[in-house]
A = this chain, B = another copy of it.
Amino acid sequence: MASRFALVIDPAAADDLRTDFAETFTVIDPSAPALSVGELSTQRGDGIFESIGVVDGHAQEVGPHLERLAHSASLCDLPAPHLEQWRQAIAQAAASAGAGEQVIKLILSRGIEHGPTPTAWVTAAPAADFSAQRTAGIRVVTLDRGFDSGAPARAPWLLLGAKTLSYAVNMAAIREAHRRGADDAVFVSSDGVLLEAPTASVILRQGDRFVTPAPGAGILHGTTQLSLFAHLEALGFATAYETVPASALPRADAAWLVSSVRLAAPLTSVDGTAIPVDAELTASVNRYLLSPRD
């Protein structure tokens, strides 16, 4: 944990006339007290975040992550983040990172209760070692997400497309998967539509076609999935966003959970039903995901 890093951003100091935001950053000790107990992130899970992969000092897909941060802010009625300020904060965090894989987290909280502005900070830390999951694969179980596929459109206050700090259910789903002897979970709507994993997108291979659940279904639009689809299209494969029935997952020719830090983890089974693993394609995909991407 030698190379951990954190900086606090002053969002109130961001304006369009400024071009250098270094003065709006305060580097802090990541293990020292930094947040007050009045923080709404901690009291209410009231804020948004992003996790960005860093490979050998290069922060991956910064643009799509910042776009999604802005989208989450809009869904949560938070002030629009000043993207150039965040971009410079990410660059400073990435510059602190050594070789190998790291993870940068962006957090935008609603701030101190009754306070005037949001609170914002960026951290960097070594990534966990996911090499076994990337090669040997993972077993998943499907878990009911509770809502039907119409809920996201009719009830935007459920924040289903926003990457909020209120992740207690996502964490509980992973614990439930472990209880069932699996490595991770895949959420399914109450009417049987495939959604996403608690911290990853799902991609299915059907013949020479790659399919992922449509973001309108109340799931996050995965930055890694987006990047991977562009790569697969460049290789000549067809890709599609669709309403995928949960029953299609165990029948897929291959399937992966993809996310910014773990990258592509092939599914070896779903609810105990084995799924074929394409080791060669998976290795090729992970090499691509480890290459510098913007």
Contact = CB atoms under 8 A, between A and B. Distances in A.
Interface residues of A, number: 57
A116 B162 CA distance: 30
Given A35-B33, A146-B155, A46 B171 contact: yes
Number of copies of this protein chain within its complex: 2
Prevailing SS type, chain A contact patch: mixed
Contacts of A156: 176
A168 interface: yes
Nearest to A75: B172
A176 B155 CA distance: 10
A49 B43 contact: yes
Interface string A26-47: 0010111111111101111111
Given A77-B172, A157-B169, A166-B168, A105 B43 contact: yes
B190 A148 contact: yes
Identify which of A6, A31, A172 gathers the most chain B CB atoms within 10 Å of its CB. Answer: A172
Contacts of A30: 36-38
Contacts of A37: 6, 28, 30, 34-35, 107, 121, 123
B38 A41 contact: no
Interface in A120-140: 121, 123
B157 A42 contact: no
A190 B41 contact: no
A93 B32 CA distance: 25
Given A143-B157, A144-B151, A144-B154, A36 B34 contact: yes
Nearest to A170: B44
Contact of A165 (B107, B121, B160, B168): B168
A145 B112 CA distance: 27
A237 interface: no
Given A146-B160, A159-B168, A166-B166, 13 more contacts: A30-B37, A33-B33, A33-B35, A33-B36, A35-B39, A35-B42, A41-B41, A41-B42, A42-B165, A145-B158, A146-B158, A162-B168, A164-B168
5 contacts: A43-B105, A76-B168, A76-B172, A158-B172, A166-B167
What 10 A-B pairs come out closest when comparing CB atoms?
A45-B45, A166-B166, A166-B168, A146-B147, A44-B167, A45-B166, A33-B33, A42-B42, A146-B151, A41-B42
